[in-house]
Amino acid sequence: MERIKKKSKYTVVSLFSGIGGLDLGFEFAGFKVIWANDFDKYAVMTYRKNVNDNIHLGDIRELKDSIPNHDVLIGGFPCQPFSTLGKLAGFKDENRGNLFFEIADIISQKKPKIVVLENVKNLLNHDKGKTFNTIKTVLEDLNYTVYYSILNSKDFGVPQQRNRIFIVAINKEMFKSAYFKFPKPTKLSITTQDLLDSSVDKKYFLTRKISKTILGEGTKGYIVKPTIDKQISKTLCATMHKMHRASQDNYVTDQSSFSLFEDDNRINIRKLTPNECRKLQGFPSEWEQVVSDCQAYKQFGNAVTVNVAYEVAKVVYRYLEENLL
């Protein structure tokens, strides 16, 4: 993607920033992230190395009083309480599920012009729609007009099947009456195979012993056909380091790298490398991995796809330019 070359006109505060996928999208679109936050020390380490030094480590509940005034508030608030891969505790999750209300409190205090939030697709259906309706109602009660859309990473230049809900809330007091339009999908021109590393260490290849489980069809009540070499990758997840079954995780055949070493205990099928996960999430080529592979998999699995964030940020910028009173 080509970064918009203009002096930053609008300021951004980022909550639950992770390694900055949403932040980079907004920076590339011409915004300036002046304050960011995450409670994971490894994510903050990666963010500081690759994005900027404006990130603050700690619990947002303890840091929110230090948040400066800003034009746009963004955040991929914790998705685990709403994900079908989790316990679906939602707002009942006292540690993570109720953090949306911290966002609402910040909005009520700072009154940003626009709010952009991201979460898993299932947020829309969680608790028969009650969770999302609560979020929408809270934002509307704060005098914001709420728009939302499900955006898939594969529709924005990266070969990954990743559906996420994006919520855009517009401060009614600051804009002319105008409908907000989300970015339109584009035709995908590359495959996962186009992004694979040219030379991969043997540690990423399956051992013969574990391959029987990884490539198996499951047991008893869990029977799923394994799939590998997908042109469009399955959704990257935070627990990729655990190597789930091939029906859930991404595995590729790589005879080229396999032929570079001799190991009778391994086969020519491997998991994705952290660097390939980086590419599948749209992070730039100059990105530096400063954490372990385990942490890198977690970080890319939790991240917002930069390409999608960038396209959303561009239409937000345009909306500000055309409709701000």
Calpha distance 261→282 (Å, rounded): 30
Integer Rg of the chain from CA = 20
CA-to-CA dists, residue 37 to 45, 75, 100, 293, 310, angstroms: 12, 10, 15, 23, 20
CA-to-CA dists, residue 96 to 73, 125, 205, angstroms: 19, 18, 35
Question: What's the first-to-final CA gap in the chain, in angstroms?
Answer: 30
Q: What is the 3-state secondary structure (H, E, C) of 157-205?
A: CCCECCEEEEEEEEEHHHECCCCCCCCCCCCCCCCHHHHCCCCCCHHHE
CA-to-CA dists, residue 61 to 43, 72, 138, 207, angstroms: 18, 19, 18, 45
Residues annotated as catalytic are: 79
As beta bridge partners, residue 146 has: 169
